[in-house]
Amino acid sequence: MKVALAQMDIIWEEKEKNEKKAEDMIKDAKKERADFILFPEMSLTGFSMNVQKIGEEKKNRNVYSSIERMSRLSKKYQIALGFGYVEKSGIRGKNHYVVLGKDGQILSDYVKIHPFSYGGENQYYDSGDKIIRFKLKNLNFGVFICYDLRFPEIFCRSCEKTEVFIVAANWPERRREHWMTLLRARAIENQCYVLGVNRTGTGGGIRYVGDSMAVDPYGNVIDCLREKEGIVFCKIDAETVKDWREQFPQRKDRKKDYSVFLEKNDRKRESD
C-alpha cells in the first residue's frame, strides 16, 4: 500500500481555504498513485480552542459537515483519507480523527483520549474513551492524536491486532525532538509501522515545522519532511511486520499486567 502524509500549512480557522488546499494535495497524491492520504490533527482549522467557531454538529444526513465535504473528495478521487475535525456539544468539544474509504464511507472515527492539559485543551475538549482500529486492504491500523504519543500504554494495548499506527498532530517546533524520538520508540517497542503526520507554518501564535515521517517496524525512518509544506510518500506492507515479529518475537515476552509486580514490591516494603 502506498500512503501519503500531507504536511499542511493550515490556515488558522479557515475551513473552506484549508479544504481547497487539502483537495490540491489529494490531487498530487493521486497522481503518485497513493492509496491513502493522511492529514494533520484538526486538519481544516488548526489546533484552536475556539470550539464555538470551529466545532460542528450533525446536520444533513446526520453527519458532520466536514465529513460530508471530505467524503465527496474521497469518492471524487477514489482515495482513502484521514483527517481531523471538532465535534461541538454545548460549550465543549471533542477532538476527532476520522478515516474514510475511497467510497467515502467512514472506516473509523477516533476521539483523542488525552487532551493536552499543558496547553489547556482539557478545558475545552472532553476525552475519548475508546481505542479505535480499522482495516484497509490487508493492513490493520490504529489511530491516535498528538499528545497520545506520550502514553505508550495505549499503543501497547492496541498493537496485538495492529500493523500500522497513525499519529495525527499539531506538534510545535520547540518539542520537535520529542516528536521524532517518540514516533521511532512506538515503532520499535510495538514492531509496527508508525505514520506521523504533522502540520507546518504558524497557527495561534505557535510555530510548527512538520517533521512528518514514516517509520518502519525496525525503527528506521523511511522518509521525513522538515520545515515546508509538502507530501511524504511511503510504501507499507503486512509481510514486513509479520516477518520481523517472527524473527524477533519480543512481544510474546511482554507481561499482560505489570501492576502485580508493583503490588508485590509494595507489600514487601510494608512488611519491612
For residue 260, what pLDDT is reported?
81
For residue 60, what pLDDT is reported?
62
One-letter identity of residue 115:
P
Q: What is the pLDDT of residues 56-86, one digit of tens each?
A: 998 766 679 999 999 999 999 999 999 999 9
Three-class DSSP labels, the chain? CEEEEEECECCCCCHHHHHHHHHHHHHHHHHCCCCEEECCCCCCCCCCCCHHHHCECCCHHHCCHHHHHHHHHHHHHCCEEEEEEEEEECCEEEEEEEEECCCCCEEEEEECCCCCHHHCHHHCECCCCCCCEEEECCEEEEEEEHHHHHCHHHHHHHHHHCCEEEEECCCCHHHHHHHHHHHHHHHHHHCCEEEEECCEEEECCEEEEEEEEEECCCCCEEEEEECCCEEEEEECCHHHHHHHHHHCCHHHHCCCCCHHHHHHHHHHHHHC
Bridging pattern class, strands 200-203 and 206-215: antiparallel
Q: What is the pLDDT of residues 133-164, one digit of tens each?
A: 999 999 999 999 999 999 999 999 999 899 99
- Contact, 3 vs 214, CB < 8 A? yes
Given pLDDT bands bounded at 50, 70 and 90, which one contains residue 272? low
Given pLDDT bands bounded at 50, 70 and 90, which one contains residue 271? low
Beta bridge partners of 93: 88, 125
One-letter identity of residue 176:
R
- Contact, 179 vs 221, CB < 8 A? no
- Contact, 114 vs 147, CB < 8 A? yes
Question: What is the distance in angstroms between the CA of the first residue and the CA of the last residue of the chain?
Answer: 57
Q: What is the CATH number of domain 2-271?
A: 3.60.110.10
- Contact, 131 vs 142, CB < 8 A? yes
For residue 234, what pLDDT is reported?
98
For cell 475519548, the residue is: 128
Find how far residue 95's CA is from the centre of its chain.
11
One-letter identity of residue 248:
F
| Residue-range domain boundaries for the chain | 2-271
Percent of the chain scored above 70 by pLDDT?
96
Say yes or no to pLDDT of 111 above 70: yes
Find how far residue 174's CA is from the centre of its chain.
20
Say yes or no to pLDDT of 257 above 90: no
For residue 12, what pLDDT is reported?
98
For residue 261, what pLDDT is reported?
81
For cell 490531487, the residue is: 27
Nearest to 41 by CA among 120, 98, 122: 98
For residue 223, what pLDDT is reported?
98
